[in-house]
Amino acid sequence: MNADIWNVLHDGPIVSLTGSIPGDVRFAVAIGYLRKRFPDPGECILLTLHGCTALSYLVWETNEVLTDLVAIAAAEPEILSADEPTTVVCNGGTLQVQASGFSLALDSGRAITIDDLFAVAAAYWTEFENRSQRRRAE
């Protein structure tokens, strides 16, 4: 695992968490601007952390540490960035994770690779920059 998996999901809220600790935990990330670039119907990218031994979410406003998967998902933390794979800065708190690996899938059930996700993200951001340049030129 590395921080890239979290950074490519930038701006995506975590809308569901399922699984158990220790074990595998599946995150449903509702990141429409990337998800719609895949032809399969659906709304989320599924990130499964394998061998997850710890998962918590520190809510900045209250200093409460959530460890219950349902409670973390109910807070809908939006992924912002990560400098390391174990600490993920979100819009209202910090997610701490420990896992041995990960896999990706679409909510349609089709497995995807990190390279697939990087490719659609790169295409999106290239198009975004091109649109911005055209607007500035007008």
Predicted confidence (pLDDT) per residue in 4-19, tens digit: 999 999 999 999 999 9
Distance of CA 1 to the CA centre of its chain: 13
pTM: 0.92
Structure tokens at 115: 């390279």
Structure tokens at 39: 């032809």
End-to-end C-alpha distance for the chain, whole angstroms: 43
E runs forming strands in 1-138: 14-19, 23-29, 45-52, 54-59, 64-66, 79-84, 87-90, 93-98, 101-106, 111-112
The domain in which residue 98 lies consists of: 3-137
Determine the length of the chain: 138
Predicted confidence (pLDDT) per residue in 43-89, tens digit: 999 999 999 999 999 999 999 999 999 999 999 999 999 999 999 99
Distance CA 93, CA 8 (A): 18
Closest CA to 72 of 88, 55, 87, 86: 55
Structure tokens at 136: 């500035």
Q: What's the pLDDT at 62?
A: 96
pLDDT tier, 129 (very low <50, low <70, confident <90, very high otherwise)? confident
Total domains, the chain = 1
